Chains A and B, each alone.
Chain A
Amino acid sequence: MITVSGLTKRYGKKIAVNNASFTINRGDIVGFLGPNGAGKTTTMNMITGYISSTSGKISIGGYDILENPNEAKAKIGYLPEQPPLYHDMTVKEYLSFVYNLKGCSKKENIKIKSEHIKEVCEVVKITDVYNRMIKNLSKGYKQRVGLAQALLGDPEILILDEPTSGLDPKEIVEIRNLIKRLGTRRTVILSSHVLSEVQAICERIIIINEGYVVMDALTDELSANMGPNSRYGIRLAAPDEDDVAGVLGSLLGVSHVEYVGSYEKGTSDFIIEADKNVDIRRILFDECAKRNWYILMITPLGMSLEDIFIQLVNKNSEAKQLAENKEEEVKEESNDDGDMEA
């Protein structure tokens, strides 16, 4: 559905997106993950045709965004980070304007204007503010109106840039559920720097950092495959005088023990990390039985996306640093050779 190859965007000397390539298939819900300034919005802006790339190709449903921009754009519904709303219009007027702007009446599968707008309003639940001025709406409703404009024309692809940014927790949950529902019959790309959000909504994650695509994997695979350790959260009931953390740390294969706190009277919670080839649960059980400690809980903790993200970003930065060091070394060597020859 979307093919991006060798996409690069330069702003003067700064490279905002560097040689990004990926393919997004029909029906995928993909999350762009990265810190602020990583290049997520720039990538989305290029895919939607808002800005042009310095080099590289973007194909939307077989149409090149630069060669056939109108055909490509007709397949996309875009909700930028700041919803593009005209505050002097009512919701009804605004959606009617967007309907005309997108030339929806020419599309075969679109119903009559009023019916289509009504249907979209029901999907995003803005029927109750239909006749209100946009400037008087809450941020959550404004976001929904922004989403409604993206849905007009029934586009095959939805691109949402930080759709929950600035919303309260209740609105965040509602928007996330809405995006999940919309994703059942559309290709969805959403960007976020909130890792749990991408984890909750997306099946696939593309991690971008400093303009580079540093990882492209399925959400489940990502946490399962990353990291050398297996992690467990445990709750033990042990006598106060025993050095529980010390004992746990001395177990075979345990690489790290962290005391989390006491959430139940007479118990302590720990996070232990062990090598993957050791089943720490059996060793832990034997040791606790020997010492008459009670295991009240063992919870396997997959590596959180936060951890994965930090790990990848560090790896990426290290790799970059190494490459820069090498380059400097090569330069110095060539300078030395030059001096010698002189």
Chain B
Amino acid sequence: MTAIWKRELVSFFKNPIGYFVFMIYAFLSAIVFCLFVIWQNTSYLGNYFGMWLFVVDIVVIAVMSMRFFSEERKNKTDQLLLTSPLSLYSLVIGKFLGAYTIILSCTALNLIYVVIVDAFGTMDYGALLSNTVGTLLILSAMISISLFISALTENQIAAAAGSFAVLFLLMIVDYLAMFMPTWLAKAMMSLNIYSQYEDFTNGIISLPPVIYYISVTVISLFLTVKVIEKRRWN
């Protein structure tokens, strides 16, 4: 598991795509910061840690998802991984931790904005803490969903497009639910990955969203293992 985690990190930072991803994140998150903090003339970081920042994360995760399993299958390096004395769970968790570390290192760029707000405004440390916890949780759920989608295909473009589409859909499902019958709308809204985050935006760390994100992560990783396992049986 540690070997896989290290390999993911080294490979990401050795490739130009790694720096490209960082650049995208830095550029887009700067726009979000300008739009929702500086132009709003507020020092409340809850505005920054909102839906649009997570859309930026989705873009980054979608680009990263090309590498998760699709690339391994395309280059046949999955043969090395699957014939090594390593359990599928270790493999999937290793991949997850690798991707999670990368997205967290992108997210670490947000510290710049924390420093800026702290220097020029009044920092709400409670909101900062709750948003940090919330971000860690929502990103873990997003990464695991993306891993699952990447395990479904060996086409890297399909993996990236699929990850973006599914995660974005889970983000805006509330808007679509407005056009649906009540019973379906309720079911659709419960799938919304962002609505669970709202408590964190308001500076509250409550148990249900924590359990929700952890559950989504665990179930997605479990399904990823099952997808790989099933392919071996087909």
Interface residues of A (CB under 8 A from B): 11, 45, 48-52, 69-71, 73-74, 76, 78, 80, 82, 84-89, 93, 97-98, 100-103, 149
Contact = CB atoms under 8 A, between A and B. Distances in A.
B39 interface: no
B83 A73 contact: yes
A78 B79 contact: yes
A73 B85 contact: yes
A84 B87 CA distance: 18
Given A84-B76, A88-B15, A101 B84 contact: yes
A50 B11 contact: no
B77 A85 contact: yes
A52 B81 CA distance: 15
Top 9 nearest A-B pairs by Cβ distance? Answer: A100-B3, A84-B80, A74-B85, A70-B85, A73-B85, A48-B83, A84-B77, A101-B3, A80-B79
Interface of B: 2-4, 6-7, 10-11, 14-15, 75-87, 232-234
A80 B11 contact: no
B14 A97 contact: no
A73 B232 CA distance: 15
A149 B77 CA distance: 12
A98 B86 CA distance: 11
B2 A100 contact: yes
Contacts of A78: 79, 83
Given A51-B232, A97-B3, A100-B2, A88 B11 contact: yes
A101 B80 contact: yes
Contacts, number: 68
B contacts with A: majority SS: helix
Nearest to A74: B85
A50 B7 contact: no
Contact of A52 (B6, B76, B80, B232): B232
Given A50-B232, A86-B7, A101-B3, 14 more contacts: A49-B82, A50-B82, A70-B85, A73-B84, A74-B85, A76-B83, A84-B79, A84-B80, A86-B75, A97-B7, A98-B80, A100-B3, A101-B86, A149-B80
A45 B76 CA distance: 12
Contacts of A93: 10
B234 A70 contact: no
A88 B11 CA distance: 7
B77 A89 contact: no
Chain A CB within 10 A, most for which of B15, B77, B80: B80
A71 to B, nearest CB: 7
A50 B91 CA distance: 14
Contacts of B81: 101
A30 B188 CA distance: 58
A52 B232 CA distance: 5
Contacts of B80: 84, 98, 101, 149
Chain B CB within 10 A, most for which of A11, A80, A84: A84
Given A52-B233, A84-B77, A85-B77, A103 B6 contact: no
A149 B3 CA distance: 15
B82 A82 contact: no
A93 B6 CA distance: 11
Contact of A103 (B7, B78, B85): B85
A245 to B, nearest CB: 52
Contacts of B85: 69-71, 73-74, 102-103
B146 to A, nearest CB: 21
A293 to B, nearest CB: 59
A70 B77 contact: no
